[in-house]
Chain A
C-alpha cells in the first residue's frame, strides 16, 4: 500500500534541495549548464524576471513546449511557475509532470483574493512570503516550501534581505513567547494557531525556507544563507550575467561554503559583469512584484 502526495513526500522533496541553488532557465541549453554547475533544480520559464519586467503586459505560465524541453534535457527536478490563484495553470503543470510548482508573484496574479488550495494537489508548491504571517498563510493553503519574495529581476538583494530578516526575527520572537501569548500573536499575524505553535516549538518554519528575488552574486547568495535561508533561488542573476557558467558554479559553491570567506573571495574573482541592477526607488508601485499576493 503506497501513498503519493503526502505532506511528508511533498515537504521531503524540498528538504532534499537544502543547501542548494535553484536556477531560472529558459531553454534546454541553459538547463544543461545549470545542471553541470551543480544546481539542485531548475525553474523552467519563458522569460527570466528581468525580461518579464522589460516586456510588461500580462505575464503568464510558460509555453508547455519550453517546460517539456527543459524536462527532457536534465535529470534534476524541474520547477515551473503559475500565476497566483490560477488553479488551471497549476493543474496543467501537474499533468505535465513538473516536479514543483511556484505559485509566483513574478507572473501577473490571476486571482486578487484567493491563492490556490495547494492541499488538493499531488505535486508540491513553493510560494513567496515577505514575513512570517504570509509564510504561514501559504503553508496553511498547502505550500510545501517557502521562499522570500525579494524584488525579482532587479539584481538588488535589499528586499530579499528585508523579508528574510523579518521572517527570522518574527520566528525568534514567537519562539520566546509563552503558549498563551501565541493565540493573540496568531491573530496579529493572520496565521493559523496550530502552525504558529509549530514555529514556537521548532524555532523555524515547518517547511524549508529559501531565499529568492534579487540574488546577483556569490556574496549575495552567501548573505542570504548567513541570514538563515535553507538555500537560494537565482533568477536573472545567472543567465543575465556576462559569464553564466562561471556565475552558476560560483554561486553553488558560495551556498555550500557561505561562511568560508577566503573561498568566497576566490569565487568572486574575475567573474565578469554581474547582471545590471535596478535601484528599487526608481520602480513605480505597479512595477513592484513583491507586493503581489497577500
Chain B
C-alpha cells in the first residue's frame, strides 16, 4: 500500500516514519505527478496558508480530489484538516474543500495556549489518546454524514466522513500510531461512493 504524504511544507517526515513503522509504503509528494497511483494521502500539520497556496500552485488540489472521489482515504492533521474543509470561518476561499465541515483556525488561542491532553477516541478504543494541539483549529459544525470521532471540552477535534479523516491534533508527534493504523485500515477497506 502506497501512501502519499503531501511534502510541500510541514511535519511530513513524521507521518512517513509513522506509516513506515506500521509496514506501509509512504513517500513525499511534492508535485501533482507524485500523487499518481497513491492508495491514500496524508496532509500534514504545518501552516495551512502555506500548504494550501503551494498545493494550488503545483496543481495538487485536483489530483487529491480525484483520489478522494475514487474512494481513496485522505487524512488531514491540523493544517491538513483546514486544507480538507469545505468551509473556513472568516475566509472566503477554501483549499481542497472536500469535507463537509466548518473549521475555525487557531481556535484554542496562540502558541502559549497550545497544549497536550488525553482524549477518548472510541473508534480506536482504550486507552485515551495523547493529543498534541498546536495553534490548533477545531470543527465548529459538521454536515450530514460526518461522524464525530472525538471532542475536547465540547469542541469537535476528530471527524470522519466516509474515506476522509481529520484531526485537530498531531498524532505524528507522538509514538502512539493507532490513528495511523485506523487510516491504513480505511485504505484496506475502501468506502464506496
In the complex the two chains form, is A9's CB within 8 Å of B10's CB?
A: no
Given known pairs A16-B134, A40-B47, A256-B54, the reply for A124 and B8 (CB within 8 Å) is: no
In the complex the two chains form, is B115's CB within 8 Å of A9's CB?
A: yes
A12 to B114, CA, bound (A): 10
A16 to B170, CA, bound (A): 10
In the complex the two chains form, is A19's CB within 8 Å of B14's CB?
A: no
Q: Which of A1-39 contact B (CB under 8 A)?
A: 1-6, 8-9, 12-13, 15-20, 35, 38-39
Q: Does A76 contact B (CB under 8 A)?
A: yes
Closest to A97 in B: B110
A250 to B153, CA, bound (A): 42
- Majority secondary structure, A binding face: loop
B118 / chain A contacts, CB cutoff of 8 Å: 1
Number of A-B contacts (CB under 8 A): 114
In the complex the two chains form, is A8's CB within 8 Å of B173's CB?
A: yes
**Of B9, B14, B117, the contact of A40 (CB 8 Å cutoff):** B9
Closest to B170 in A: A12
A257 / chain B contacts, CB cutoff of 8 Å: 30
In the complex the two chains form, is B79's CB within 8 Å of A16's CB?
A: yes
**Of B30, B47, B54, B134, the contact of A9 (CB 8 Å cutoff):** B134
A77 to B111, CA, bound (A): 8
A18 to B15, CA, bound (A): 13
A100 / chain B contacts, CB cutoff of 8 Å: 111
Q: Does A75 contact B (CB under 8 A)?
A: yes
A75 / chain B contacts, CB cutoff of 8 Å: 49, 105-106
Q: How far is the CB of A8 from chain B (nearest CB, A)?
A: 6
Q: Closest 8 interchain pairs by CB?
A: A99-B111, A2-B117, A2-B115, A40-B47, A19-B9, A38-B50, A97-B110, A9-B114
Residues of A whose CB lies within 8 Å of any CB of B are 1-6, 8-9, 12-13, 15-20, 35, 38-41, 75-77, 94, 97-100, 122-124, 252-253, 256-257
